[in-house]
Structure 1
C-alpha cells in the first residue's frame, strides 16, 4: 500500500538530488549523518528507512514502514525537479496487521459462541478483541511516528545541502 505523504518542488536536477541521497545511503553505519538506510525497489525511486529502529518486532522481516523518494525532472534543461514522498508498508507491518485481524476475528467468534451456549466466560472473552484492536492502533502509531520522522529528515537533508525547495 502506497500512501502519498508530501510533494516538493526542488530547484535542482533530479540526478543531483538522487546523488545526495545515494551518498547518505552508502555511508557506514556510524558515519551516517541522517541515520538513513535504504534500498532500490522494483517500482522505482529509493526506499529509505531508519538505520537504527525505534522498535524491533520478531520475527524481523525488515523495517515496519519505508518512505519512497521519487524525484523526477520537471523541465527540459534539468534545473527543476519534483520530489514525491510515499509511505510503503513493510513486510513486518503487514504480518503484524493481518495476524491481529485474524486474532480479533477468531476471539470474537469464540466469545460469541461461548455467549450463545450460555457460558458466562464469553463476556470476559470479549476483552481479547479489544486488546487486538489496541495492538493494531499501537502498530499504526509506531509507523506514523517513523514516517513523520523520515519526512523531517528528508527536509533536514535538503536544508543542510542548501537546496531550495517549496512544499506543494
Structure 2
C-alpha cells in the first residue's frame, strides 16, 4: 500500500503532454485509443483511470485506483519537462479495505473470546479473519494490476505521439 512514484523526463513542454492527455479524455467512449477517462483533482495534475474496468465492486464509488499525472516544465525555454505518475486510492478501494479491516478485527475478537471461554467453535472461527486478509490481498492485487496497466498506457501514449522521454 506504499505510494509509488514513477518519474519521466519528457523532451517537450508540459503543455504538449497535457494537450495529448486532454485529447484522449475528451474522446467518446468507443473512440478512445487508450481506454482512459479522467478528472481534474484539486491538488493539481490529472487523475486517469480505465473507462471500462477489469473488475467492478459493489457499491461502486468510482474507480478502484487512479493514476495522477503531474507534468511540469523543468527549464525556462519549455523544451524539457518532468512527468510524475502517482497512485491515488479511490473511494471504492478505501471502502473495501477499511470494511475488511473492521471485519478481520471483529471476527478475531469474537474468535479469541470463544477460545478463552472454552468453546470449540473459537478455533474454527479463526478462519474468518484469514478470509478477510485474503480478500484484502486480492483487492491489492487488482489495484497493482490496474496501476501497472495505466503506467503502460501512459508510455504507449507518449510513444504514439512521438514524444521522447526517459524513465528516471
Q: TM-score, normalised by structure 2?
A: 0.98
SS at 1:57's partner residue?
Answer: coil
Gaps of 5+ in 1: none
- CA distance in 1 between partners of 2:3 and 2:123 (Å): 38
Deviation of the 1:2 alpha carbon = 7.9
Contact 1:2 1:88 in 2 (8 A): no
Matches within 5 A, 1:114-125: 114-125=114-125
Q: Name the structure 2 match of 1:68.
A: 68
Q: Name the structure 1 match of 2:14.
A: 14
Structure 1 segments of 4+ aligned residues over 4 angstroms from their partners = none
Matches within 5 A, 1:68-87: 68-87=68-87
Deviation of the 1:5 alpha carbon = 2.7
- CA distance in 2 between partners of 1:5 and 1:149 (Å): 15
Deviation of the 1:155 alpha carbon = 0.2
Deviations 1:67-93 (A, max 9, x none): 000000000011100000000000000
SS at 1:3's partner residue?
Answer: coil
Q: Name the structure 2 match of 1:41.
A: 41
Deviation of the 1:101 alpha carbon = 0.2
Q: Name the structure 2 match of 1:54.
A: 54
- CA distance in 1 between partners of 2:58 and 2:93 (Å): 11
Give the total of aligned pairs. 168
Gaps of 5+ in 2: none
- CA distance in 1 between partners of 2:3 and 2:122 (Å): 39
- CA distance in 2 between partners of 1:88 and 1:2 (Å): 11
